[in-house]
Structures are given as structure tokens and as C-alpha cells.
Structure 1
């Protein structure tokens, strides 16, 4: 026993001696690891190369490790960053900057009701991260990605600040219902209905405002756009027009950081129309021997009505967190003047995103925003008692009249007096948010509850004062309108992820309930003797008072399921099923079924390509699915009543009558889509992109048909039409140069889409796009007809002028062009040189036309060749000798264009010696610097509202708010 104790004692002494000798040969290394913004990175793996010995960084990005004298290098690795290997040498302290790996960061993308590794995505989708957003003055989030995504066309409705944007994903799928995509913000599908309640018609309206303009673009982290049915079927009856998923910025684990971004800009009108100057006007009328009203002025009305518009924008954000709590708070202020006088928008908003881990298996989170937006509405549209708005009268007004000219003649409205005297403001408050609770129920199975609300209140106060001469003393007109929209969401989902050998399963099942509602009320009153704040004192009206109100609601209940199976990371299959029950559908069609299937083959993982030096990734995708559009309006399947004085049988009091025919078979518009795509990456990421071809077939289009008489109403809504879209989308990204002091990357997206109407029921054709201007009553610019694309221009061909200066036209009607472009294009270039960064972006559209209704109205020179005339016309009309005009092919113009949308130059300062500033960047930027186009109007990207029948027209330019050219200077600083 004693011998045994002596043996163990000897062994213990030898072990201690050996260990002491070993530690004597080791040394301690310490350091800090930061990202490129000098933010500490917690959780970075620090490994002694070639061994299993390592550690991780703490919350401050610091590490400490003991290494042997023989250790040569340390390896630093972190998800989303390039691995870095550093030689140890004689150093004991390290300061490491890890660079972000954009490719790795894009590996995880947001899909419907969850996230997915990009390699497992089988549908057609595109992602745009914050670093790739458009630069410059952005009043709404959608402007961040304009021109960036193949197959997504964005056309501003006007150049007015906060104006709406028409977005089409792979062409339009409807004729009468909405063609706008579904927006999902942080998992909350929103109702993007315009909240502005409009005016009564005695005012010349501005275009509808963009609901997304209530959201601060600086809060957006990324966009994920789902394009084909296999990707959008998870949204069922709302997925036919594509889905745009918006993810806002969240806090990250680490020390708190404060970001402040600001810019100031000046905007001017980018182009003026070629109307007669005072000298040209006098010369033209003198040659004709007429004497217009000449008050000795030389007024450039376009100069009078436009201004150098100033914009300022400020964003302040605070973010950070621990392992259990991550947060981000932000506030924003935007004040954007319009280039037309007395127009613009102002917005102030705040956002709070918080994630809290209650335990290792339970997470609670909330995303909340609130904003207040004030729009100064310029009455620039055409219609109502104003008989033309500011734009119309700016072009029409004779340059021989002074700026203060006033007349009681309804057809001689001074646009300056109109713009500066009409009061028209919309105040919009919006609160949007959702909260979620996520828990791991068993290994691999997570349950999530998500509740949210979207509340918008908009009030529009407008007043047309009696001090304006053509209105007349005591005839002031007030219009007050309120609109309240609410959207409530409850959903529960289960997500199961499990790996079985070479097979990986990701399954989703869930239930959603969403309720929408709106309440609207308005009063129009006339006969105000005192104009001061009359719109806030409606009791003072001595004339007619007309009230109006409305309340609507609808609900959507859904069951969803999806399974994604990956085998050996080579073969991926996805199946999706959604069942939607909508209160909008008829009694016989309350429920709709929306399935999709898709698959992908990662060819680059096969043995014959695994060692390729050319293809670093190659994936073939194919999918099919059915989606719908439930944007048919509320109560269209039910018999509804309307009341008013016009329905009184005896002319006294009010009456009630039917205004809608019951249709229990009414259902959603249904779109089936086939997509085949190829994702590729060459030369280890030097070249990468996608190719997609698709065909969409939409049936059960909604059209209003004549009801068999006798019937309560003349028309009723029915599912009868069909149309088709087919096309190809291309994207290619190249890393042209990747050196330490110089980098250059290029991204190109291009898309071709062909639209065709296949069936419009009992109609031979539907005319739409009412032609504006005097003498054009009953004329329509577009036709909906089998075999033609939506937006086809239709009319007589222009064949010259006769001896009297009147148009010679063809006898027959012809197809004159199409409003939908055949090709769209975006080209982006990003460069860095030392601490300088440089970016320029072009976008374009080709192979389409625009109806220049403005040129049509102001090409009739008879207006100036009459005594005491106060009208102006287009200069080319005088040069060509035009006397009178009609709608014909002369005014269908080529709208193809290539635009330098943005150019930005920035410089990032070295802040290593500044204690409290981690990052500082200054930049200058220009927007809409030039446009290459043959179009004679203000801008070829236009979709001004125009009257029509049941099908809304597109591609018509009629007295549209001009586009701006903007220069800004800004800074970004992180503390």
C-alpha cells in the first residue's frame, strides 16, 4: 500500500512539473474584433490554426487566449463575414477588422411566413439589401428599388411629392381590379388602399397619394420580391400580382450605437414644354392679322409656377442589445417642397423594434411605427368647376398677360392666383405594428403567434375662396372629408425543421384571420361671405350643404401549409397550399384553393461539376401554381341599396334604390403561372445572376355586363374575361475589380413581357381613356380587345394637314401603339477608391408609346388667332400651321427612354483618432440628371389619371405634374 501511495505521489509531481513546463511555453494573446463600421462583434470564433483550441469574443468584441510558442496563425470567423487568418509573430495584442461577405449575407432570404436558405429556394424571387438601395430624395420605400429588379416596373403617377407609384410585377393580371402587389411589412400583410379621401369635384384634384409615403425609407433593411406562383401561392387570393416583403432594421447584439443621417437638397423642373414666348406670340398673331389681348407683359408662366424646391431629411437611430434583448429606435423628419409653387409634403415619424428572449426557447418581439404626414395639395388635375387645374392653365395662359392678371371669365383662370389662393391640405396619421411570441415546443418545432394592427386616419380640408374673381364674392366653397382605415391581423403558425441523414425538411402550417374596414364622411358647403378659415366653420355656409358618408368592411380567413424538402443539398422540392375564405366572394364561392409545386436541381453539387473552375454554383428551378386577386371591392356579390335626393320619386326629400345586382357566383380572379429559372455563379462569385422565363394565364376576370331587363340595375359584375402574360427576366452581376484600394461591381437587370387579352365575354371591344380637351367629347384613346395587349392605343392615323391647317385622317380606326413597354432595363455601377465611393444608376424602358393629351389640347392654333385671345399654344403647332386638332396617331409618341437616375459620390473619413465618432461619411448626389428620349412631354414615365369606362387606362399624359431634377448633399455619422 505504501509503495502504491509513493507511486501515485511521484506521478502527481511529474504531472505538475510537466504542466508547469508546458504553460511556461505558452503566452497570452488579446485583441478586439470590429466590423467595417468599427462596431464590436460578439461571438466571433477565434481558433489557433491547425488545432481545436479556441475561444469567442465577448459583448465588447474582445478576446483572450493562451497559445503555445509554436502557434503560427489565428483564424477569425463569423457568420456573414469573410474568414481572416492572421500571423501571430511576436505580437500579443491584435485589432482585427472583419469584412462583410455580401454573398453569405444573402444566403438567408425572407419568404412568406418565414425565412429560408437561398440555396433551398425553388421559386422566382429577388432580394435587394440596404447597401444596394437607390440614393437621393426618397419620400416612400418603394422608390428605393425602382429599376433594381427584373420584371418589376414602377411608374410614378406624377412628379408631386408623395404621389402614388404604379407597380407591376410581370405585367398586369387584371383589367378592372387592382394590379398592385401585396405588401408585407415585418410579417404583416398591409392594405395599401390610398387613404386620401379626395375632394368633391369642384376642385381640380391632384393625383392619389402613395400610402407607403407614411413609412420612413431609412428604416428599411431589405426587400424580398416574390414573383412566380410557386413563391406567392402562400398568400393565396392576394398573390396574383406578386408580393413585396419589406423587412425593417433591427437591433443587433453588441454595444449601443447611434446613427444620424441627414441630407439637404434643391430640386428644379427637369424640362419645360415648348409653348410660345411673348415675342413668338406677337409675331404669330401679327402674321395672321389678329389682335390678342396684349397688356404689355412678357410672362413665362412655367417660370412663374415653378420654384427651386428645398428638401431636408433627418434620421436618428439608436440600436444595440445583449444576448437576450435587441432593440432599435428611430425618429425621422422629412420636409419636401414640390417644384410647383405651394405644393409639397412634410412627415415626422418614429419606429421601435424590440426582440426579447424570455428563455432559451421563448422569444417575444414587437415592431411598431407611427407617423404624421401633411400634404399640401396642388389643384393640378383637370375637371370640376375649375375647368382645368394649375398645369392646364399654366400652359394655356397667354404670355402677354401679367402675373397678377385676373378675370371673371371661367376660361381665363390665372394659375398663380389659383395655386396661391386655393387651400387644400391632407393630414394623415398612421400607426402600424405587430407583436409576436415564438416558442420552441419540441426540438425542431417552433410555434409563433403574430398579432397586428394598421390604423390610418386621413382628413382633407379644402377651400375655394370667393375672393378669386371667377368664383365671386360670397360663393366660397368648402370641402371637408375624413377617411379612417383599419386592418387587424391574428395568425398562428407552426414551423418544423429536421434533418434526417441527407434529407432536410422545413414544414409550415398555420391559420390567419384578417379584418379590414373603412369609415368615410364628408361635407361640401357653399356660400361663404367670409373666406377666413371657412373650411373650419361650415355653419357659416349660406348655400347648398351636401353631406356624404360610407362604411365598409371585409374579412379574410385562411389555412396555410408548405413543405420544403432538400436531399443531399442537390434536389429541392416545395409544395404549398392555401385555402382562403373571403367575405367578398359570392355565397357559392366563399372558399378558394391555391396550390403550388416547385423543384430545384443544384447542378453544381453533382460530381461532374463539383470540381469545375467555372461554375461555382448552378441551380435549375421549375414551378407551377395558382394565385388569386380578391380586389373586387366590398359587397359586389350582394344586392345593395343607395339613398339620396336624386332617388326621390316626387322630388322632395330622399329616396332609396338598388345600386348593385346580386351575384352569388362572384369569385376571385384566378392566375395560373409556370416558371422555369436558372441561378448561376461563375468564377467563385466574380459573375452571378438569374434567368427566368414564365407564362401567366388569368381567367375569371371581372367585367361589368348588361343585366337582362327588367332588373333592379342596368349592369352587374361577373367573372368572364381572360388574359395572358409571358416573358423573360435576366440579371447579371459582375465583380470587375476587387483590389485593396479599388473595387468595381456592375449589376444589370432586364425584362421582356408580352401581354394579351384573350377574352372579354360578350363585348367585342371596350373603349377607355377618355380624350381630354375642348371638342374631344366622346373620344377614347384606348381599346380592350381580344388579341391585343392591355393599354392598346386605338384611333385614326394622322396623314397630314389640308390647305386650311386641319388634320387629314384615315377613314378607318387602327392600332396606334401600346402603353406597356416591351423591355425594361436597369444598370448599376458601384466603385470604391480608397475612402471614396462612387455609384451611378441608369434605368430605362423601350418599345412602348404614350398618348400626349396635353400636346393635343394645346396644338389648336385657332385659339390664338382670334381677337382679344388670352390663350397660348405649342410652338410646334404654329411652325407646322395646325389650325384645329383631333385625337389621332400624331399624338401617340414613342416613350422609350434611358435615364441617368442617380449619381452619388461619397467620402468616408478615418475616425480612428476620434474618441466618440466611429464612422463619418459625406456625400453628394444627383437625381434624374438626364433622360435620352424622343418624347416631347415633360417626362415619358407617366400615368396621369384620365377618364374612361370600367377599365382604367394607362400611359396617358394629361397636364401631369412635371418631374424634378434634384441635387443633394448629405452626411452619415455613427457614434
Structure 2
């Protein structure tokens, strides 16, 4: 039985056909193409692999590595639903828009999915080596004068030390400890793919998109001869598709010192001097006329206070980014001005950045990442070494209020700590750093690209200083000048062939490199003395005696590299790398070195049989092994060298030379062979993420200077000898402790913790198992050690007879008889404590509620023992011309056991005083507020944030010196800063 007859069907179609055709036509007319970018809510960081779908349909796509997508939607008023693991879903009504930006808020600990690994990028899940990234918030939402400050204590295995304070802090970076004894341990820095030979202080932190640290042999092997100390990859911000986005960030702040040891005041100094030179009851005879006069007048100069002020800091950044499908741009300008807490200590930095990516055709892209910077370090700071030693009975200014040139007439050699403020000083550094590329997608060969990179780094530094008659330095020679112009040009040319292709469950990624690099450094200058007056100084006046200074240094590198990444079903991963480097600075017999590596990884959580998928979303085990080099010597060190000893033959100048070094054509790279075992763990959709790494490294062919017979007039020669071993363990843990899943109103508490421990030791020095006492190098011990006589207290009156047997008296330093032979001689010197930390750790907690974010960052270094030079007993000179820290001395009435009597002879062997230099520091404490978007929109802004930040607010330590981190304890103190700032995006 037929339900419909042919005639009835025809009638139904006649009725429905117009409606169907109308709907089809309407659908065709309504479909539109939407292009957009998915970014992280506050930082603007692209979100790759996000799912973009049209609500209520099956229409959808995914974002690419730059967070970009293109989607043809059914209608102009549809709603997009954007989702990504670790982020809160976002719904965006189009309302006719065809160019959109979608912002996702993080709900879990999500590290950047796309990671720079050198000569390309990779998904983090595909990485086989040990690579760690800095949180972008530490770059943008903290007042970092130096990029390196953002790394301090933030990453496991990366030891960042503020070794010098001031307007431009001196910051040392060491990755995974020390492998070399005498060669540099600084990591290689690569900016936008080009090796960077400058200071990180010349980079603007707000221009930086990401920083990755390559730590193990597999990840650093692509840099071959320079990778053994680790690699820092810096990637600057790039343009995004969409309408222009203008951002402003700025802050102002003030600074004061965190700690200054108490020095003796005027009366204490006078009493100290009286006792030290045995003046007896008539102490006035111990003082000079100037000291007596000033003591009677109540002069009491705190030279450290005189040399310091309240520091000021300000930075202003403006940037604009945007672009179209074919053109993307980022333009930025920045000004930084810092007046340090030391008088005369200052820097001014201007930077301008232009990053451009242009698609010329579907198969050809070009681009540039260029920064121009101008850093002015002009002006001399007060000399804090002198301020620590300066006599409190002297005055800094004369009767006319000018800086006293000779503050102590009886001792004209003594220099006023403010003397340098009178010097005329210019110091300007201009720099052009440009990384440029041409990328060709090879037609007809899917997945094959060719990239040509060209890097240019041109820097000039003009330094000129004049010490006039109003300075102690210049008055004795009628003015003294020093002028030096430094020009450096580094260039890089790279050809990179990359093939990426997936075959079912197989993925191949091959990178081939041919690279050349060169460097040319020229220094030209002149030193002069004897000027007719101070009016024109070094700028145009000709000195009586001028001595020219000139040098030229050049070197070249040539490299080839191949890297193969293989992945199967996102479960099994392998990386194989080999690099060959040639360096002009090495000996004729060893110009080239080859550095291979291999890495394996297993994504266990992706296995079908994995039993804990409901809780564990990431479980990856990594194993790497390989070799790196340390390009550890300057050019020309392999050649025999002569030094100028020109002389006068009567009235005629004659050339003369003497040998200063012997050549060694066999010199080559130090080579480090290392292995790494790592585990990456993600729990509950990455709400908890942990990374654990353990490593071991062995370095051979150390570049050391070996003592030889002086028959040639030369006492040493550089050779490849010696071995070291290095091992360590690292843990990084990030957690979302509380998350109420709200958007703006919810409470969120996130923690980031890292801890690392490293141990190094010397395995061999000269092949004969002999220690080098002169340099303090010991087989089986760390590279850096404390080796000295050991302080064992103070000889007391009751021990007079025993003290006499050691040639000492009550009140003198008691030295430990280490070998128990009843006498004190050099064989009693021993190792004391360790300069190598037991561990380094950092902890950051962030609390967010209703737009407020409170962040506290604490880091610690534990297990370090150092000599405190401020406690030295023999630094005031025999006639007491220097001040020292205030302390209690041994006397018969006060028989303490911690410090000897006030005498020139109470510490005859100058035994140093060691202290625990461990510390815990509250590095950053910040409070920020994100203005409601409705309020920000009234200002014409899409987002706005205000914040206040305190840095170095508190340090807990047993160290009694200036600071346990600073290398010089008589220098500008570490600053405590309070800063207020604002970030606005329009």
C-alpha cells in the first residue's frame, strides 16, 4: 500500500520547493568569512590549538601556532564558542563583525603550547629536551630595569645573582652550575634567532614576548660550540591580525638602601685610633691637627649617608600592534631613566623597536625585527670603596660649599669619596640590532620551507673622562683625560631548510642549517695628562702628553647543523642532532669540532592502556644524551704574541718587542658530555603541573694556563688539560590551589615553586692527580672553594702558655692546628664551608579576587659560606687612616671569643672571618587592580591595570656584611624600591 501517490508527492514538492530555494538563497547570501585571533586575557599571548565553533552548529576550526583562525560562518549574527583545555570557555556574538579578537581566561596552570627551541618552534608536548619558560607576567607586570631580573629565582637550574647594585645592576646568570674552571660560564643569548653579544640591560622587557631556557645537551646541541653553558632564547613581540591595538605602560618609583653596616662614628674612631697606636692616656697625640680640630668642633661625618640619596626610577612604553592577513606589525618605543641611590649613579635608555612580517605571495614571506637603542651612562658615581674607609673626622665640603679636593691636609693622598662627582664624564652606547628573514614555502613539496636569516648587530660606545684640577686625581698632573671609542660589528647569515610532514600517525620534522658569523671589534683612544686649564678639557684642549691606545679583534665562525624530530601517534618522540663548528680563534690543528646529541621521550598518558586518564592528563618521560662545546678563549690566544717595548735610542724613538705568550696550534674547545632524565606531569587538566629533571655532565679538555720553565721569559702556556664533573636535580611545580570558576568575581590562588641543587667537582688538573694550591684547585672538590687558615676563637689569658707555644699571645686570633703537629704553617690551611649553594629555591603566590591581584615572590639561597671582608683586622693601615665597621674587641676586661684585640699584630696571618651567606629574600610584593571593562571603555580603553610593587622589601640572613649576594661588600648597597604603575590597552 502506497502512503503517497506520485501525484500527491508532486503537489508536496510544488509547495515546498519555493521555501527550500528561498532558504538556500538566504543561506548563501548570509554566509560570511570571519578572521580572528585568540589570546590570553591579560597578556595578549596567542592561544594555539583552540577550538572555534559556531554555536548550535557543527561548523568549526582550530587556531594556528599564532592563535589565528579563519572560519566561514552561516550568518553575520551568529555566536562563536571558543574552548581550550586549561581555559574558561568564551562566547562572542559577532553582531556583523568579520575581524575579531577572543580573550580566554586561564583556569589551570597552562604553559605556552608553542615553545621556541632554536631555529624553529615546537609544541610543548613534542619537546624531548629540558626547556623551561618564563612567565610573561614577570616581564610585563613587574618594574624590571634589566631583563635578567625577571629570571631571578623564577626557574629551576637558573642561578641569577645580583653581584652589583646601582642604577644598572650587574647580574650574573649561570645555568646548571659551573663546568669550566677558568673559562666563561655565561650562557649564550639568542634574540629573535640571532646570537646577541650585548648586555641584557639594553633590551626593553616590555618588547619581549617570551623567554625560553635551553638546559640539557639535546636542546642546546643545535648551538654546538657555545652551548655548554646553556642557551637563553629571547623572542620579541610580533604583530597580530586585526585593528591596531595601542598599549601604554609606565611606572615611577623611589629607592633606598636595604642594609648598611654600621661604621664607627667620630668619637669611636678617635678612641679606636688611640688604642691601635698605643697612645695611652694622651689620645690627642694619636690624632692629626685636622682630626683634633674637627673632633673639638663636633664633626661626625657619615660618609655613606653623604654618598647616598633617595633613588628615582621611571619608565614609559608605548606600542602599537595590528595588521591584516598579509601584513602584521609591532612598533614600540620606550624610555627608562634611573637615578641610583649613589650620588652621580644614573642611566638613561631609549629604545625603539619595529617588527614587521609581510606575506608577498602565498609562498614567500619576509620580515624584520629591529631595535635601536641609546643608553647614556654618563657621569661618575661617588666612590663607595672610599666611603666605607673614609675618616669620619673629615668633612666632605670646603668652606665655600665645594667638594673638598684634599679633605685631609696631613694626608693629601686620601681621596674624597665625592671626588668623582667633579669629573667630566661622557659614556654613550648606541646600538642597532636587526634580525631579518626571508621564508620560502617550496612549491609542490608539501611541508618544505627554506629560510634565510640575516642578523646585524652594530654598536658604538663613546667614553671620555676628564679629571680636572678640582679632583684629587687630576691636580697632581694638571688634568688627566681618557678617551676611548669602541666600534663593534657582528653579523650572522643563516640558511635553514626545514621539512615538516605527517604521515598517518608518523610526524617528521627535519631542520638543516648552514651558518656563518663574524665579529669585528675596534678600540681607538688616547690618554692625556697636562692641560693648561679645565675650561675645555678633553673636548678640544691638547694635553702636554698624549698616549694613543688602539686594538683590533676579529673572528669568524662557520657551522653546519642537522636536527631530526620524529613522533609516532603523539606517544613516542625522538630527536637527533649533530652540529659542526669551525672557529678562527682555535689552533691550526683543531679548527673544527663536532657535537652530537640524541633524545627520547614517551607520552605515557597518551597510551590507550594508561589507567589514570581521569586524573593524569600529562605524563611524559624524557631521556637525553649529547655533547656541547665551550668557545672559551679570545681570538689570537693560540698564537705566539709580542708586546710593545719601544724605547729612545738617544733622541731617536726605536721599536722594541718582548715575547709575552707562546703559541699552541692544538688548542680546541672544552667539551661537555651530559645526560638528562626528566619527567613532566600534569594533573586534573593541568591544574597541577610538575617537571622533574636530573642531570650529569662531564667536561674534558679544559682550557687552563699551565706553569712552564721560565727559560723563554714566559712562565705559563694555555693548554687543553683537566676534567670536571657536574650533576644536579631540579623541580618545578605550578598549581591552582583555589579556583571558584568565576570570571571577574571568583577567587583564585595560584602557586609557582621551583627548587634546584647542583654539585660540581674537579676530576683532574694536569694529569698527575696533583692539587694546585696557588689557585685553590683541589682534585675531588668544587671548582670554587674557601681555602684558608681556620679561625678557632681568641687566645685567652688562661691559655697563655699554650698560646706562647704557637707564637701567640692572649687576645690574638687562635688558628686551628688542622694537622695537630703543634705548629701553625701553610699545611694547616683547610677547606671551610662551601661557595656552592646546597640549594636554590623560589616561590610565588598569586591571589586574585574581583579584579584585585596580590602577588608575593620569595626566593632563597642556602648553604653558602663566604669571607666577610668588612671584618678584616688589618685594613685600617698601621697609622689608622681608614675607618672600619663598629664592633667589640677583645680586652682583658671583655675577654670575648669572637674578635681579637685592637692591635696591628693580633691577627698576624690575616685569618679571614667566614660567615653563613645563606638568605631568604622577599623579592617582589605587588598589588594590582584590573579596572572593570565597562569603566575602561569609558576611557576609550579595552583594558586597564594599576599596580604598586615593592622589591627587596625584606631579607632574612645571618650575614653581617653589606649583602650576601653582592660580590663587593664595599660598594653601592642593594636598593629597596617601591613603584607604582599603570598598563592600558586601547
TM-score tier (shorter): 0.7 to 0.9
**What's the counterpart of residue 759 of structure 1?**
764
* Aligned match for 2:952, one of 905, 913, 928: 928
* Structure 1 residue 642 corresponds to structure 2 residue 635: no
**What displacement does 1:486 show?**
1.3
**What displacement does 1:55 show?**
9.0
Contact kept? 1:893, 1:935, Cα under 8 Å: yes
**What displacement does 1:103 show?**
5.7
**What displacement does 1:505 show?**
0.7
**What displacement does 1:412 show?**
5.6
Q: 1:890-933, CA deviations, whole angstroms, 9 ceiling, x for partnerless residues? A: 42221101100111111111242416222221111111001111
* Aligned match for 1:742, one of 721, 743, 747: 747
* Aligned match for 2:148, one of 142, 150, 154: 142
**Range that drifts further, 153-162 or 591-600:** 153-162
**What's the counterpart of residue 197 of structure 1?**
none
**What's the counterpart of residue 792 of structure 2?**
799
Give secondary structure in 2 for the equivalent of 1:236.
Answer: helix
**What displacement does 1:826 show?**
0.8
**What displacement does 1:691 show?**
0.5
Contact kept? 1:586, 1:666, Cα under 8 Å: yes
**Range that drifts further, 795-804 or 600-609:** 795-804
TM-score normalised per structure 2: 0.85
Give secondary structure in 2 for the equivalent of 1:400.
Answer: coil
Contact kept? 1:585, 1:666, Cα under 8 Å: yes
Measure, in 2, the Cα distance between the counterparts of 1:105 and 1:877: 54
**What's the counterpart of residue 478 of structure 2?**
475
Measure, in 2, the Cα distance between the counterparts of 1:87 and 1:341: 55
Question: Relative to structure 1, is the Cα distance of residues 492 and 798 closer, same or farther in structure 2, using a 3 angstrom cutoff?
Answer: same
Contact kept? 2:521, 2:553, Cα under 8 Å: yes
Contact kept? 1:731, 1:750, Cα under 8 Å: yes
**What displacement does 1:276 show?**
1.0
**What's the counterpart of residue 344 of structure 1?**
346
Question: Relative to structure 1, is the Cα distance of residues 767 and 56 closer, same or farther in structure 2, using a 3 angstrom cutoff?
Answer: closer
Q: 1:80-101, CA deviations, whole angstroms, 9 ceiling, x for partnerless residues? A: 984637699xx99999964144
**What's the counterpart of residue 575 of structure 2?**
574
**What's the counterpart of residue 198 of structure 1?**
none
**What's the counterpart of residue 243 of structure 1?**
231
**What displacement does 1:819 show?**
1.8
Give secondary structure in 2 for the equivalent of 1:133.
Answer: helix
**What's the counterpart of residue 821 of structure 2?**
none
* Structure 1 residue 907 corresponds to structure 2 residue 929: yes
Question: Relative to structure 1, is the Cα distance of residues 489 and 26 closer, same or farther in structure 2, using a 3 angstrom cutoff?
Answer: closer
Contact kept? 1:564, 1:572, Cα under 8 Å: yes
Contact kept? 2:90, 2:103, Cα under 8 Å: no
Give secondary structure in 1 for the equivalent of 2:654.
Answer: coil
Contact kept? 2:381, 2:421, Cα under 8 Å: no
Give secondary structure in 1 for the equivalent of 2:530.
Answer: strand
Q: 1:121-158, CA deviations, whole angstroms, 9 ceiling, x for partnerless residues? A: 11111011322438544222111211111011111231
Measure, in 2, the Cα distance between the counterparts of 1:735 and 1:40: 20
**What displacement does 1:481 show?**
1.4
Aligned pairs for 1:483-882 within 5 A: 483-537=486-540, 539=542, 541-542=543-544, 544-609=545-610, 611-645=612-646, 653-708=654-709, 710-711=711-712, 713-739=714-740, 740=742, 741-761=746-766, 764-766=770-772, 783-802=776-795, 805-810=811-816, 811=824, 812-856=828-872, 870-876=881-887, 878=889, 880=899, 881-882=901-902
**What's the counterpart of residue 802 of structure 2?**
none
Question: Relative to structure 1, is the Cα distance of residues 409 and 184 closer, same or farther in structure 2, using a 3 angstrom cutoff?
Answer: farther
**Range that drifts further, 820-829 or 527-536:** 527-536
**What displacement does 1:50 show?**
6.0
Aligned pairs for 1:209-608 within 5 A: 211-282=199-270, 284=272, 289=281, 290-291=283-284, 292=287, 293-294=291-292, 295=294, 296=297, 297-376=299-378, 378=380, 390-404=383-397, 406-408=407-409, 413-441=414-442, 442-469=445-472, 471-472=474-475, 474-537=477-540, 539=542, 541-542=543-544, 544-608=545-609
Measure, in 2, the Cα distance between the counterparts of 1:21 and 1:899: 69
Give secondary structure in 1 for the equivalent of 2:475.
Answer: coil
Contact kept? 2:239, 2:323, Cα under 8 Å: yes
Contact kept? 1:156, 1:165, Cα under 8 Å: yes
Measure, in 2, the Cα distance between the counterparts of 1:641 and 1:578: 35
**What displacement does 1:160 show?**
2.2
**What displacement does 1:67 show?**
11
Measure, in 2, the Cα distance between the counterparts of 1:909 and 1:471: 57
Measure, in 1, the Cα distance between the counterparts of 2:730 and 2:227: 19
Contact kept? 1:562, 1:574, Cα under 8 Å: yes
Give secondary structure in 2 for the equivalent of 1:817.
Answer: coil
**What displacement does 1:804 show?**
6.2
Contact kept? 2:490, 2:517, Cα under 8 Å: yes
**What displacement does 1:714 show?**
3.4
Measure, in 1, the Cα distance between the counterparts of 2:727 and 2:122: 27
Give secondary structure in 1 for the equivalent of 2:161.
Answer: strand
**What displacement does 1:503 show?**
0.9
Q: 1:585-619, CA deviations, whole angstroms, 9 ceiling, x for partnerless residues? A: 21111110000001001111123325533321110
Measure, in 2, the Cα distance between the counterparts of 1:651 and 1:316: 62
Structure 1 unaligned regions, length at least 5: 193-210, 381-389, 769-781, 945-956
**Range that drifts further, 897-906 or 101-110:** 101-110
Contact kept? 2:756, 2:839, Cα under 8 Å: yes
Measure, in 1, the Cα distance between the counterparts of 2:637 and 2:432: 29
Question: Relative to structure 1, is the Cα distance of residues 602 and 870 closer, same or farther in structure 2, using a 3 angstrom cutoff?
Answer: same
Measure, in 1, the Cα distance between the counterparts of 2:531 and 2:28: 92
Measure, in 2, the Cα distance between the counterparts of 1:873 and 1:717: 41
**What's the counterpart of residue 983 of structure 2?**
972
Give secondary structure in 2 for the equivalent of 1:129.
Answer: coil
Measure, in 2, the Cα distance between the counterparts of 1:593 and 1:38: 41
Measure, in 2, the Cα distance between the counterparts of 1:336 and 1:465: 26
Structure 2 unaligned regions, length at least 5: 1-5, 398-403, 796-808, 817-823, 891-898
**What's the counterpart of residue 386 of structure 1?**
none
Q: 1:104-133, CA deviations, whole angstroms, 9 ceiling, x for partnerless residues? A: 661110001110111111111101132243
**What's the counterpart of residue 966 of structure 2?**
942
Give secondary structure in 2 for the equivalent of 1:783.
Answer: coil
Contact kept? 1:219, 1:249, Cα under 8 Å: yes
Q: 1:825-873, CA deviations, whole angstroms, 9 ceiling, x for partnerless residues? A: 111111211111111111111111222223326x66776xx6xx55322
Contact kept? 1:695, 1:724, Cα under 8 Å: yes
**Range that drifts further, 25-34 or 645-654:** 25-34
Contact kept? 1:797, 1:888, Cα under 8 Å: no
Aligned CA-pair RMSD:
3.6
Measure, in 2, the Cα distance between the counterparts of 1:234 and 1:6: 75
Give secondary structure in 2 for the equivalent of 1:157.
Answer: strand
Question: Relative to structure 1, is the Cα distance of residues 9 and 638 closer, same or farther in structure 2, using a 3 angstrom cutoff?
Answer: farther
Aligned pairs for 1:54-133 within 5 A: 65-66=74-75, 76-77=81-82, 82=87, 84=89, 98-101=103-106, 106-133=112-139
Aligned residues: 907
* Structure 1 residue 962 corresponds to structure 2 residue 952: no
**What displacement does 1:689 show?**
1.5
TM-score normalised per structure 1: 0.86
